[in-house]
Structure 1
Amino acid sequence: MTHLTDLTADVVLPCLDEAAALPWVLEHIPVGWRAIVVDNGSTDGSADVARSFGATVVHEPRRGFGAACHAGLLASDAEYVCFCDCDASLDPGLLTGFVRQVALGETDLMLGRRRPQGRGAWPAHARAGNLALSRMLRRRTGVTLRDLGPLRAARRADLLALGITDRRSGYPLEMVVRAADAGLRVTEADVPYRPRTGRSKVTGTWRGTWHAVRDMRAVLSRPPAQSLRRTSTAPDTVPNAPAEAAK
């Protein structure tokens, strides 16, 4: 039997040109956990930085936040899988508490509710878009969340069983929607949210935010999936996963 103090997890880090932020993020990965950096076409040497810190590097040529996240999920092999942005805005060390709550059976999908720390941590247009989506999520699923934050944890089998199809900005939202449709418990806890290193590829501009909201509205417009189950019948191993382990 695994003791709670011995819990380990894989942390999926979708990455596009985050070489400047990666050292801080990887230094805060919990001891004994595996960081899976999914390089989504970086040109700044992000993959080399990740390898230098002992991370597993997965190359995902299809551009898109969801494509990177899902490639990391498929490459993982731990019972618990976490997600975190790799722009140094969120501390992956907080994920130990998230995994603990999932392991204790207190929740099935744990999200971090971002609490801005300092000026510019969360631009007004990004907060407005997030608030609108939270309201639409409540109408669609009945789940009340104040944020759809990227810091999250769940059992790998549960996530695979959801059959998430979005490969762009709608991936995090679809994960929550399908989890709710499957009867999984979705909860959130406050986490500090620091100003990111560099400019956001998604919410750094009004245009980027609009495209993200458009993707997410498309997710909310889909009817509930009728075949979702609590656990997956698919094998846990993924043939030919493009993972490159650090040496």
Structure 2
Amino acid sequence: MTTTVVAIIPALNEEDAIDGVVRRLLAELPQLTTVLVVDNGSTDRTGVRAAEAGAQVVSEPRRGYGRACLAGVRAARGADVVLLLDGDGADDTSEARTVLEPLLAGRADLSVGARVAADREAGSMTTQQLLGNRLAAAILRRKYGLAVSDPGPMRAIRREALLAMAMSEMSYGWTIEMTAKAARLGLRYVEVPVAYRRRAGRSKVGGTFRGSVGAGISILRSLWRYRNWGPAGTA
């Protein structure tokens, strides 16, 4: 039976990169049925560029990374598997196939692209991002029992499983919430090494002190909040 795969890209003011990301995905992943770009209240031509490149554009004007991701998941009706990645050009689209493979082969329920140092372009992640990721990964290993080295943004998961998580983090805690709840649900977690490049334009997270602090707080709060979460959705 054919597995339906939909790519979901949350995007806020990514007109410099989004068309290339969409075109590469469509060219490199024959498994994809749709690329959904969620325009998260952009003030530039992100939505127009995405549509011109062949994406289906979903509007979510309420700002928030997690909110945009959730809007995409809800819009991906009929998808068996959703592939989530960023629209800034930092994720290497040529490795999306590698991230999808464990799910399509039935070896994983959540597959995450781990940005390994050897293939991470200089300047692609700030010092504060690297330290924050290491701390989050250490807590996920120790408190949640998952073999996490990097809770990266490129990830694949079955849509049904993701909806069952009743996701509630509407900012930068989204990926951590997903990973923590996957552990609590007993889902099979797999990491695959991927490359990571410098993004197009200025980072909304690592590029500002406020963004870095805000993201760090969201991540740590999520790690604490879901430590006792169960399938009933209580924390």
TM-score normalized with structure 1 length: 0.86
Matches of 2:50 and 2:156 in 1, distance apart?
A: 21
Query: What number of residue pairs does the alignment pair up?
Result: 225
Who is 1:39 aligned against? 39
SS at match of 2:8: strand
AA aligned opposite 1:224: N
Matches of 2:190 and 2:207 in 1, distance apart?
A: 27
Q: Which of 5, 10, 14 is the matching residue for 1:18? A: 14
What's the CA shift for 1:214? Answer: 0.4
**1:224 lines up with 2:228 in the alignment:** yes
**Superposition misfits of 4+ residues, deviation over 4 angstroms:** none
Who is 1:232 aligned against? none
Matches of 2:209 and 2:129 in 1, distance apart?
A: 8
Who is 1:245 aligned against? none
Matches of 1:182 and 1:45 in 2, distance apart?
A: 39
AA aligned opposite 1:31: P
Who is 2:144 aligned against? 141
Q: Which of 132, 154, 160 is the matching residue for 2:135? A: 132
Matches of 1:139 and 1:145 in 2, distance apart?
A: 10
Identical amino acids, percent of aligned pairs: 37
Note if contact 2:73-2:159 (Cα within 8 Å) is conserved in structure 1: yes
- Farther-moved stretch of structure 1 (154-163 vs 89-98): 89-98
SS at match of 2:192: strand
Q: Deviations over 1:178-214 (max 9, x none)?
A: 0100000111111010111111111222331111110
Matches of 1:226 and 1:155 in 2, distance apart?
A: 18
Matches of 2:160 and 2:24 in 1, distance apart?
A: 25
Matches of 2:204 and 2:4 in 1, distance apart?
A: 30
Map residues 66-85 of structure 1 onto 2, 5 A cutoff.
Answer: 66-77=66-77, 78-85=79-86
What's the CA shift for 1:228? Answer: 5.1
Aligned CA-pair RMSD: 1.6
Who is 2:102 aligned against? 101
Note if contact 2:102-2:190 (Cα within 8 Å) is conserved in structure 1: no
AA aligned opposite 2:50: A
Give the unaligned 5+ runs of structure 2: none
Matches of 1:35 and 1:49 in 2, distance apart?
A: 13
Who is 2:197 aligned against? 194
- Farther-moved stretch of structure 1 (93-102 vs 78-87): 93-102
What's the CA shift for 1:226? Answer: 2.4
Matches of 1:15 and 1:118 in 2, distance apart?
A: 22
SS at match of 1:100: helix
- Farther-moved stretch of structure 1 (135-144 vs 209-218): 135-144
TM-score normalized with structure 2 length: 0.90
What's the CA shift for 1:133? Answer: 1.0
**1:159 lines up with 2:158 in the alignment:** no
Matches of 2:229 and 2:196 in 1, distance apart?
A: 33
Who is 1:183 aligned against? 186
What's the CA shift for 1:61? Answer: 1.7
Note if contact 2:23-2:54 (Cα within 8 Å) is conserved in structure 1: no
